[in-house]
């Protein structure tokens, strides 16, 4: 199984604090960590660690942060030949605040991600494709239009997309907030729609009718950053492997649950064996 991911690449600057700040509030006493991140990169690494071969198409700056942002993917074997270096824009950065319960707030400076254009994409994208919305919408739309196989569209962060994308996607993944943003438009195509509900699990729909539901394993959450991306990578791999909907949802919920028990987006992404152990338990 070879999956192409067209998506964002960031370096995450994570501040762990006693609580998340309110408007105008300064929270002191935090600790700072640096982790590779970006939804595209996270989902590429997640799928690779769960058994797929993955090629990532994206963009980084010509700076020291680029090496950090690509380091874990390079080490695990993600194909980075589709990642270009931008000499004018910096590597994308996400500023993330995390509280002791694992809840987070995220502000993203897109940097080079903003300059991933349709011209960077191949004219045909063979095999399965995963996209998200941290790149320019026209680039995401072009990628989906050039795909020849299974398309998973993680419509996050929520933003207007074309009717053509909604109808072309074989799988749409959103959380509850994003599902509310898109409304019934999510269900107008013939593909499957998965709505994640955090610790309460996830549901799969087709044409607006629930076809499967799975509860999330009970874990002690530390950091929710990356859990949603682990879910996207896992549900895509599971469905491509031929798992039935309930089995695929259970697998993806377990992947997200493992990720939530560890700090950082990419460092938290689980190996296949960890997911299977949690499911067996």
Instruction: Name the residues annotated as catalytic.
Output: 229
Enter the DSSP assignment of 188.
Answer: S
Distance CA 5, CA 13 (A): 23
User: CA 95, 97, 99 angle in degrees (round to 5)?
Assistant: 165
DSSP 271: P
| CA gap 154, 75 in Å, rounded | 25
Q: How many other C-beta atoms can be found within 10 angstroms of the C-beta atom of residue 164? A: 12
Phi, psi of 150 (to 5 degrees): -60, 135
Collapsed DSSP state (helix, strand, coil) of residue 48:
helix
Of 155, 161, 157, the residue nearest 105 (C-alpha):
157
- Rounded CA separation 194/71 (Å): 30
CA distance 248 to 206: 15
Report the alpha-carbon distance of residue 4 to residue 113 in Å, rounded: 17
Please say whether the dihedral angle defined by the alpha carbons of residues 30, 268, 224 and 38, taken in this order, is positive or negative.
positive
- Residues 256 and 267: their CA atoms lie apart, in Å, by 13
DSSP per residue, 138-184: HHHHHHHHHB-S-EEEE--S-----HHHHHH-SEEEEEHHHHHHHGG
């Amino acid at each position: 199984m070879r999956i192409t991911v067209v998506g964002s690449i960031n370096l995450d600057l994570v501040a762990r604090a006693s609580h998340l700040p309110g408007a105008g509030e300064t929270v002191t006493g935090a600790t700072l960590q640096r982790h590779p991140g970006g939804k595209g990169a996270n989902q590429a690494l997640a799928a690779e660690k769960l058994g797929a071969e993955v090629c990532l198409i994206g963009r980084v700056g010509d700076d020291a942060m680029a090496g950090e942002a690509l380091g874990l993917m390079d080490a695990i074997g993600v194909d980075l030949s589709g990642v270009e270096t931008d000499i004018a824009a910096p590597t994308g950065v996400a500023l993330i605040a995390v509280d002791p319960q694992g809840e987070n707030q995220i502000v993203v400076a897109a940097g080079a991600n903003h300059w991933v254009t349709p011209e960077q994409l191949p004219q045909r994208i063979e095999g399965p494709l995963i996209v998200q919305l941290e790149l320019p919408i026209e680039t995401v739309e072009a990628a989906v239009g050039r795909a020849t196989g299974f398309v998973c569209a993680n419509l996050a962060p929520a933003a207007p997309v074309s009717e053509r994308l909604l109808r072309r996607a074989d799988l749409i993944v959103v959380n509850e907030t994003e599902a509310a943003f898109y409304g019934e438009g999510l269900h107008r195509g013939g593909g499957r729609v998965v709505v994640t509900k955090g610790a309460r699990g996830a549901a799969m729909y087709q044409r607006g009718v629930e076809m499967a539901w799975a509860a999330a394993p009970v874990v002690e959450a530390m950091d929710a950053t990356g859990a949603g991306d682990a879910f996207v990578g896992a549900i895509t791999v599971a469905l491509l492997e031929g798992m039935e909907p309930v089995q695929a949802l259970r697998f993806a919920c377990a992947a997200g649950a493992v990720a939530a028990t560890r700090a950082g987006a990419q460092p938290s992404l689980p190996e296949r064996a960890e997911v299977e152990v949690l499911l067996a338990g």
